[in-house]
Amino acid sequence: MKRQVEEFRANRSGQLLIVAALAIAVLVSSTTIYVYELSRDTNSSDRPPLNDFVLSLKQSARNVMISSLANVSNGGSSSVLATNLNTFSQLVASLHHLGTMSLDFTPLNDSTYDSGTYLSWNTSDTSDTGVSSAYVNFTLRVYGLEEDIDAAFAVNVTTTITISGSYATLLSGDKQVSLTCRVYNEDEPALAKNMTFFYENSGNWIQVDASNDLVIIDQGNGTYLVSFTVNIPSDTVPVSVRGYDSRNVFVLANTTCSGT
């Protein structure tokens, strides 16, 4: 377990990540194509299957979506997802090594998603779950090969954080707050890169720091045990966590702690 006694610091490098993701996506796709073509030219019996290219393209699309979601969750426009995927789609179309290629995409729009993104950071003190998500449907078509490809697939990128807790009243009158935070990527436990905690007092949100005896215990499996003390008169302690996962996607959740 890793113990931390100071708050995590935020990293807002979403836009730089998008540029890097696009470059890496093209590099991965181009490398896969090159290996496939080289092995075909040499009539190698160990030629990688064409499915490897499709898989690498799916992963590249996911990387672009992750970086776009990091940007949107840090205050960027929801249109950035479509803009970046359009750039990626044009780059895919420019790769003629395997034939004529097209990558069409449709960001999800429904009662939950807007232009393919969904941010649920309700400010209610009882909304103990925060979600940042992106969802896009893709269609990959490749013609002019030994066999044509017409593959439809969907990619979902979701960061979720949950928070729950309570407090105990100390002899000094201070309230010792104990929290459990869990981070998920696509519903699987994930690690946080940065987390900052706040408590509400008389309508003002105050950042928790070392003066509150802040302790964060990293369980190493996406679960974080947090404790700190506050001196406020109310019978409940509203708490907020603002965090970044290891992909730099921002997410926020609130809860209200009662006494035990």
pLDDT in tens, 133-155: 999 999 999 886 666 788 899 99
Q: Is 252 helix (H, G, I), strand (E, B) or coil?
A: strand
Residues 252 and 240: their CA atoms lie apart, in Å, by 7
154-188 exposure pattern, b = at least 16 Cβ within 10 A, e = fewer: ebebbbbbbbebbbeeeeeebbbbbbebbbbbeee
Of the chain, the percentage scoring pLDDT greater than 90 comes to: 62
Mean pLDDT calculated for residue range 185-194: 96
Mean pLDDT calculated for residue range 99-125: 88
36 has pLDDT over 60:
no
Domain carrying residue 227:
2-9+161-259
In this prediction, residue 124 has a pLDDT band, given cuts at 50, 70 and 90, of low
Task: Report the pLDDT value the prediction gives residue 50, as an integer from 0 to 100.
Answer: 63
Task: Report the pLDDT value the prediction gives residue 23, as an integer from 0 to 100.
Answer: 57
Q: Considering the entire predicted model, what is its pTM?
A: 0.82
Please report whether residue 216 resides in a domain.
yes
Mean pLDDT calculated for residue range 239-247: 96
195 and 144 inside one domain: no
Domains: count for the chain:
2
Please report whether residue 212 resides in a domain.
yes
90 has pLDDT over 50:
yes
Mean pLDDT calculated for residue range 209-228: 97
Please report whether residue 124 resides in a domain.
no
Q: What one-letter code names the amino acid at 13? A: S
Contact between 217 and 224 (Cβ < 8 Å): yes
171 has pLDDT over 80:
yes
47 and 98 inside one domain: yes
Average pLDDT, the chain: 83
